[in-house]
Amino acid sequence: MSSFRTRTVHALGWSFGSKFTSQLISLVFGIILARLLVPEDFGLVAMAMIVIGFATLLADVGLGAALIQKKNTTEQHFSSVFWLNNLIGLALAFMLFQLSPYIAIFYKQPDLEKMTMVLSLVFVISALAMVPKARLSKKLAFRELALVDLSGMILSGVVAISMANAGYGYWSLVVQKIVERIVTTLMVWLVGRWKPQFSFSVTALRDLIGFSSSVFLTGTLRYTTLQVDKLLIGKFLGATSLGLYEKAYTMMLFPLQNISQVIGSVMFPALSQIQDDRARVRDIYQRVTRAISLITFPMMAGMFVVVDSFVLSVLGEQWAGIIPIFKVFCVVGFFVSIATVTGAVYQSLGQAKLQLKVNLISQPIQIAGIIIGLMWGLDGVIIGFAVTAILGVFITWYFAGRLIELSILDILNNIYPTFILSVMMGAVVWLCGMKLIVYGAFLSFIFQMVIGLIVYAALILIFKPRAYHDVMMVLVKQYSKK
């Protein structure tokens, strides 16, 4: 019990710390690139990455998650998946290279042809890293994974900024993605110290395919849904609109990637080790969602009220169009930040098939909302996405909650105290911002951030929500042992 908690907290600490650091660096790089480039550059790369991302799912086919979830894996399992993944990666790279002219024709953007050809290298590179990463995740070796991600983020960011400053435009973003994959692949082999066997076993793959197929289909369905909006915007509204939408979406993902997805990535292998104790899984899920809300809710509320001054003063007036988009995404972020970790519940309990069935309900609803919204242009797509995304959260809460005997009301009661405190903080920051605007957008943004931090910290110390006690208890126990 103590050993499990210690290893999990240690993994969370490294994973959270590295992800926060790397994403903070990424945010800084993103701001610099936004000032050096135009929305159209980001939109063109986003068009290509829709296809790249889908093909990346095909390269994994869920086998990475299956290696982590399966209790008794052998070297035969790891080696067989490694060779299969590399074969799939080569095939996908060749296929995308051949399809690149047609992708350019579909979007009516000739520049996409060469861009997609270059990005096809991603599959060959990524396939080499999948199994070593899965091995490290299975061992909760998130310190090593932290080093891998941070190295890729920094080196690729420096290269991208140098190229953008030299006038290479969207090619700086393309090269950034290639360099990041190369660096992370090299690093994961250096820190993982694993050598695949020269063997291939169909039997070993059969042990994994039942779980992996459900994970793969779920991931494919979810990714397709997440990309439909970008696909339609790029096709019918143009690269500039897609660039604005993509930038706002990326900014909204910042706290989700740093908090929810990091915790979810650790929860999956950790909960897999205690999957037979449902009561314990339920308790950990409640504690984790409270901890997530303690951090992500004030971030969403704060970003909602400061986005005007942030965009105008930091990104530049050419990005003013993302302000209303970003505000809608912040509202969605309240719900999605908590729902993200339900995937760890499904998969750790071996319920990947149920997760797939749930997504077969929620994802078509979201696609329909986006398609209907397209009739009203970019604003319609955003509203359609927001409404159906929130509805999808409630659907997944219902089914995941049944696995661990939690109702939707239980989940909401678990997180509402931090929501109320975050809204209170946001209201104070908004009122202060109305008075501070006379000092200019940049100073107003800085003052609002400082005020928000002070007010939220004060509210937490005054009301001491249960999430605060949970976090403090873990920290005290962890560091008192040291």
pLDDT at residue number 287? 83
pLDDT at residue number 353? 82
Closest CA to 69 of 269, 219, 338: 269
Residue 475, pLDDT above cutoff 80:
no
DSSP secondary structure letters along 283-295: HHHHHHHHHHHHH
Please tell me the distance from the alpha carbon of residue 159 to that of residue 147, in angstroms, as a whole number. Answer: 19
Please tell me the distance from the alpha carbon of residue 104 to that of residue 101, in angstroms, as a whole number. Answer: 5
Closest CA to 236 of 46, 377, 51, 112: 377
Question: How many Cβ atoms from other residues are within 10 Å of residue 142's Cβ?
Answer: 27
Question: How many Cβ atoms from other residues are within 10 Å of residue 447's Cβ?
Answer: 18
Higher pLDDT, 185 or 347: 185
For 81, 93, 280, the CA distances from 87, given in Å and listed in that order, are 10, 10, 40
pLDDT at residue number 14? 58
Residue 52, pLDDT above cutoff 80:
no
Residue 26, pLDDT above cutoff 80:
no
For residue 474, give the DSSP letter.
H
pLDDT at residue number 128? 86
Q: What is the CA radius of gyration of the chain?
A: 22
What pLDDT, in 10s, does the model give residues 409-418? 999 999 999 9
Please tell me the distance from the alpha carbon of residue 10 to that of residue 266, in angstroms, as a whole number. Answer: 10
Please tell me the distance from the alpha carbon of residue 358 to that of residue 373, in angstroms, as a whole number. Answer: 23
What pLDDT, in 10s, does the model give residues 134-152? 788 777 666 777 788 888 8
262: burial class by Cβ within 10 Å (0-12, 13-18, 19+)?
buried
pTM assigned to the model: 0.71
pLDDT at residue number 422? 96
For residue 374, give the DSSP letter.
G
What pLDDT, in 10s, does the model give residues 60-106? 666 766 776 667 777 888 888 888 888 888 888 898 899 999 999 99
Closest CA to 203 of 57, 86, 87, 79: 79
Residue 274, pLDDT above cutoff 70:
no
Q: C-alpha angle with apex 340: 335 to 345, nearest 5 degrees? A: 125
The segment with the largest mean pLDDT, out of 132-141, 189-198, 344-353, is 189-198
Please tell me the distance from the alpha carbon of residue 461 to that of residue 468, in angstroms, as a whole number. Answer: 9
**3-state secondary structure at position 274:** coil
Question: How many Cβ atoms from other residues are within 10 Å of residue 269's Cβ?
Answer: 24
What pLDDT, in 10s, does the model give residues 315-337? 888 888 889 999 999 999 899 88
Long-range contacts of 101-105 (CB under 8 A, 24+ apart): 103/47, 103/48, 103/51
Residue 1, pLDDT above cutoff 50:
no
Closest CA to 20 of 297, 249, 259: 259
Are 465 and 421 spatial neighbours (Cβ–Cβ below 8 Å)? Answer: yes
What is the helix (H) or strand (E) element at residue 275, kind and residue range? none
Are 389 and 382 spatial neighbours (Cβ–Cβ below 8 Å)? Answer: no
425: burial class by Cβ within 10 Å (0-12, 13-18, 19+)?
buried
Closest CA to 305 of 151, 424, 408, 461: 424
